[in-house]
Amino acid sequence: MTNYREILRLYSLGITKKDIAASCGCSRNTVTNVLQRAAACQLSWPLPDEMTNKELAVKLFPPGEAKSTYRMPDYEYVHREMAKSGVTLGLLWVEYCDQCREAGEVPYKSTQFNKYYSEFVRSTKATMHINRKPGEIMEVDWAGQYAHMINTDTGELINVPVFVAVLAYSGYAYVAAFPSQNQECWITAHVNAYNYFGGVTRILTPDNLKTGITKHSRSEITINKTYQELAEHYGTAVIPARINPHVIRLRLRAQ
């Protein structure tokens, strides 16, 4: 049984709810609920010596009253908010907890909050852009195939690499051919893409090509110096694409 007397005693000493919960072996929600009920019943420490913990429990939570129930979050609202830039489940859970406290209701723990959200997405077949918020990520790479330019003097077909930049959320793309895949063309392509989109994303996600990423292993990521200077100039972060473990094994075998 929860030690209601001890909760009131520790609270009278100015102990935080977190430390009271740890001392009494209960949750912070329980501590908050007990203190709210005690205030409503005008009970505070010191209590009469003859009042047992069981008697205090009856005063705080009369048998005829319905027990406090957890408030189910509005997951339709949560799902809409998750599509906005900078919004995370963690932030929405904190907002939900604040609303519960203001209403005197009991909130779910973050693990349950996330679990029920996952169930909501599955049951309603709702779709969302995971880790893809408006204006957050620009994915960049050289296309796998070359385009062709015609030498107007000789009629010769010249192979030219194609740079592709895509806004991950919308799929809006910038595509342009360049004479080379060297560092100068790589940087110029990014500048042109920013000008084309009319802004800069928070994150740059290149593939692991040498003009952008010097080294990418499980323990270390080294960004090309010039590329890092570009990121610092535009106030963006370079987060390279994950390396496929299967590809790594094939490379090791080849070596």
Q: In this structure, are residues 33 and 68 in contact, taking their beta carbons and an 8 Å threshold? A: yes
Closest by CA to 158, choosing from 169, 147, 168, 166, is 147
**Rounded (5°) CA angle 232-237-242:** 140
Name the architecture of domain 137-254: 2-Layer Sandwich (3.30)
Tell me which of 187 and 252 has the higher pLDDT: 187
Domain residue spans in the chain? Answer: 4-60, 75-124, 137-254
Handedness of CA 24, 29, 34, 35 (dihedral sign): positive
Given this model, what pLDDT does residue 250 score? 38
> Could you tell me the CA-to-CA distances from 69 to 50, 72, 97, 105, 221 in Å, in that order?
31, 9, 14, 7, 48
Pairwise CA distance, residues 164 & 200, whole Å: 15
Q: Convert the pLDDT of each residue in 50-109 to its tens digit.
A: 888 888 888 888 876 555 567 788 888 898 888 776 788 888 999 998 888 877 778 889
Q: In this structure, are residues 153 and 147 in contact, taking their beta carbons and an 8 Å threshold? A: no
Q: Convert the pLDDT of each residue in 150-197 to its tens digit.
A: 888 888 888 999 999 999 888 889 999 998 989 999 999 999 999 999
Given this model, what pLDDT does residue 249 score? 41
Count Cβ atoms below 10 Å from residue 199 Cβ, excluding itself. Answer: 11
pLDDT range class, residue 248, cuts 50, 70, 90: very low
Q: Is the model's pTM score more than 0.85?
A: no
